[in-house]
Homo-oligomer: A and B are copies of this chain.
Amino acid sequence: MATQERGTRSRHSILESAARVFDERGYDAASTNDILARTGLTRGALYHHFPSKEAIAVALVTAHSEALVVPDRAVKLQAVIDLTLEFAQRLQHDPVLRASVRLAVEQTSFSRPPQTAYEQSGAAILALLRQAEEQGEILPGVDIQEATSTIVGAFTGLQLMSQVYSNRADLPERIGAFWRFMLPGLATPGLLGRLHTTVTVPAEDV
């Protein structure tokens, strides 16, 4: 049991160190030596968990999907907004998430399908928009698949721009602004005034 715990801790330590190296240098410039230097583990211990740099990157991309926590909200459009705002906040600090986003955005020799990150986010948002549609929250005539792609694509670019301008400090504000422009073309008029687009969501469910 103690051995297993130690194993889980090493695995996590490798992932977090690798994430910092990938986030700072990008996939191609990162080496397993850099990663080892940060973990203090032996090469043997590293290869016990991950046979290659690519295997580490695959695990990081999976972590991206696990980070997509779907908030429980009665109003499903609010759940979509909060999902993006919470993801924005986690991107400010979480090295694993930052690395997974950089892996998704840059063209490198890392050979996983580059669609993965977009599809993971898209699936979570599309499911919520379907529920929103069933609950009558969506304007008639809106193509929710198109809305999903627009939200995922816009988020991708807004976080890149925010990284360049403020190391993502202003990301939640940029995402909030995006929603204020997007919602009148997406939500029914009666719902519009009830949706929050800032991080300070009231404690009670909307």
Q: Is A54 an interface residue (CB 8 A)?
A: no
Determine if A8 is an interface residue (Cβ-Cβ < 8 Å). no
Interface string of A125-155 (1 = CB under 8 A from B): 0000000000000000001001101101111
For residue A49, CB closer than 8 A to chain B, the reply is: no
- In the complex, whether A31 has a CB less than 8 A from a CB of chain B is no
Interface size in chain A (residues, C-beta < 8 A) = 39
Whether the Cβ atoms of B181 and A153 lie closer than 8 Å is no
Question: How many copies of this chain?
Answer: 2
Nearest-CB residue, chain B, relative to A156 = B157
Q: Render A106-126 as a binary contact track against B, CB cut-off 8 A, 1 for contact.
A: 111000001100100000000
11 contacts between A and B (CB under 8 A): A26-B107, A105-B106, A149-B161, A150-B154, A152-B157, A154-B157, A156-B161, A157-B159, A182-B182, A184-B184, A185-B185
